[in-house]
Each structure stands twice: as structure tokens, then as C-alpha cells.
Homo-oligomer: A and B are copies of this chain.
């Protein structure tokens, strides 16, 4: 068990905070909620939620993936001083691990508190993606692949996850129709959940697998092929947003805070960056290591879980995460989703938030958002849907960077 707990959290609205009317009229784009705004909103929100004041915060970590390319800003840590002048002269560090950039920020903060050097630490995850158009954003994201062998030869993340999907299909012998049906059920579940999450980017997505499967291949409202077998509705969103959590030692939290969720266990395992180095692309090999570490530290098994937020950057990855967590047998997660598992009334609801598919995926914010929303679930203040059957006490987050490369798994448990 870590010695650290979450005592406050905040998640901004996720969306595309660019004034699109102005883009159509060829006026200057209006950045209605900037990268800088998002950091300040999330930081202030989490501090307020914790009941602490800015002066009580001893250090800040900010996780963000590629602001140098997305918004033209590096040297991110010091932007946190704008949250409150009381933060001037405090230590601030930015971490990066592709789409897991803010989970690793949380882990660095956990170590810092466990070292005894800091009492209260603010961790923010943030990304502003919509200043770029989609081709430019896709190219910027592709820098998180192994560039000399992947992006530099034209690979994009949809293409890399299509490789994982093809390996999965080959391994388990699914037909095109079968896998398409499985993926559609995963996506529809996320869209249904997001419809109840006021912070989600997409709240009016197709609500059933049938609706997705009935879409044409081309033309208006098409579910176009992006990188076979992955179609538009298998891909997560290009989103702006931020989330933040306040961490403190569990010993301190028990004495002084009202709503405490301990970081019961963490797992952080990294695989080869080049996909060509991996002969087991049908599963998250490093992800399984991370899950084992997190469960072992938390002294739990999968049977103890009450809910999960997993990294559905593409529908295939939601299947892989579900299996790596032990919530489905290898190769069988899709069957379970088709059978209606993992909804709000399941024993373990997955992606009650709507997931990356529908809540949205501001890449550097995603890890912090998972932690923030599971915190809110466990302290009885769910944003959007809650599990139907019982008040949850144990949740898990599974945040992935790159094509299954960086794997961050956190077990969270309500303390009080």
C-alpha cells in the first residue's frame, strides 16, 4: 500500500474549446479556454475541493504530452504559479509519458510524499489539442511512436493500434463481422455512459451497437474506415481539457481530511517503444506486469474491484485493458461486452465516465482525469453515472501511453 491518498479532485469540461464559427468564417480562431486557462481552472478546482489553500501546497507536478507541438509552449511546470501567487518559489515539475503523462506525474508525487519531503502535492494533467487541425494533430501525436521506424515511415496511432487489432483477431480467429460487432458494443457503452456525464465531450453519440453497425461506409454520417479494422467510431476524440488531484500522506489525511481515497497500489511498466520488437501484440504484456504490481501492492484480486476506468484510445485497447485487468478471459472480452457486461449495473462497471471514446481524450489530462473521476465515485460524489448496485469502495485506473508501451495501473480505495 502506498502511504498516499487523494483528498481532492477536479475535472474541467472536456471539449473542443475553439470557436468553430470563426474558423469557418476565416476569422482568427478564438481559443475560448486556453492551455493556460485549463491549468489554472483544474489546479484551483482541486485545491478548493480538498479544503486546503494554495499556501498549503508544497509542490506541483504537471503531466502533459506534447504542448511544444500542440500549443507551442514548453517549460510547463512554472505555469502553475498562475494558480495562486502563494505557489511562487515552490518546486514544479512537468512529466511526459505520451497519453500516460499525468499518471506518471501522480506516481512522482506519490514518491515525493512518501519520501517525507512534501506534505500536500497538487498534480495536474492537461492538454490543448484543437489548435491544430486533425492531420497536424495526428502527426504531432505520432511523435509518441518510435519515430525512426514508425512515424517517419508514415505510421499514425490509428495504424499502430490497427496492428494490435490485427494481431488480436489473428490470435483468436475472429471474423471481420464478429470483431466489428464487438467493437461496436464497446463504443456504444462508452457513448451511453457519456450521455450522462455533463463533462463529457460527446453526449449525443450513437447509443447502441446496432446504430453504429447500421452506419454507411461513406457519405454523411458514415463510420468511415480509418486504419482497418479500426473505423471512426473505434477511435477516441481530439479534445481539450484538464484534471487535477491533491495528494497528501494517508496518515495526515486520516487526521485532517473528510473525503479520503488511498492510492492502494500502483503499477508502472514500460515495453519496447518500437512495435516491431514485440512478438505478443495481441495483448498488453507490460500492462499485465503493471496490473500484477498494482494488485499485489494493494493486496487485492480482481474480485475486489467495484469499477474501472480504462484506456480506450481505440476500442481494441478497451478489450486489451479489460483482459489485462483480469475482468475477462484472454480473447473473450468482446464476447462479454456483446453480452451486455461492464455497464452501470454490472459487478464492475467500466468507463462510467464515457471513456476516451466519448468523455474525450486530452492526452496529457487523461490519467489525472481517470484518478479524479474514480476519486469522485469512491467518495460518493459521482460525476455522471454511478454503479447501480452498490456504493463502490475500490476502483482501478488503467492509463496507457503509446501502442501499449507505457502502462500505468492504480488501485484506489476509499478510506473515509
Contact = CB atoms under 8 A, between A and B. Distances in A.
A108 B110 contact: no
Interface string A66-109: 10110111111111111000001111111111100000100110
A93 B97 contact: yes
Contacts of A145: 75
Given A74-B143, A145-B75, A286 B89 contact: yes
Interface stretch (A324-332, A377-385, A398-406): A398-406
Interface residues of A, number: 59
A111 B289 CA distance: 23
A386 to B, nearest CB: 32
A179 interface: no
Interface string A47-65: 0000000000000000001
B96 A74 contact: yes
Contact of A117 (B74, B114, B144): B114
Contacts of A286: 88-89
B143 A78 contact: no
A336 interface: no
Given A66-B68, A94-B97, A108-B108, A89 B269 contact: yes
A114 B117 CA distance: 9
A69 B76 CA distance: 15
A74 B92 contact: no
Interface stretch (A18-26, A216-224, A270-278): A270-278
Contacts of A117: 111, 114
Contacts of A144: 74-75
A92 B270 contact: yes
B81 A272 contact: yes
A151 interface: yes
Contacts of A97: 75, 77, 92-94
A402 B75 contact: yes
Contact of A115 (B91, B115, B140): B115
Interface string A275-311: 0000000000110010000000000000000000000
Contacts of A270: 77-78, 80-81, 88-92
20 contacts: A66-B74, A68-B140, A72-B151, A73-B143, A74-B144, A75-B401, A77-B104, A78-B405, A79-B273, A82-B273, A89-B270, A89-B285, A89-B289, A90-B269, A91-B104, A91-B270, A92-B97, A93-B97, A93-B268, A96-B96
Given A71-B147, A81-B273, 8 more contacts: A74-B98, A82-B273, A88-B272, A89-B270, A89-B285, A94-B96, A95-B95, A111-B117
10 nearest A-B residue pairs (beta carbon): A114-B115, A91-B268, A75-B144, A75-B98, A78-B273, A111-B112, A111-B111, A111-B115, A68-B68, A74-B143
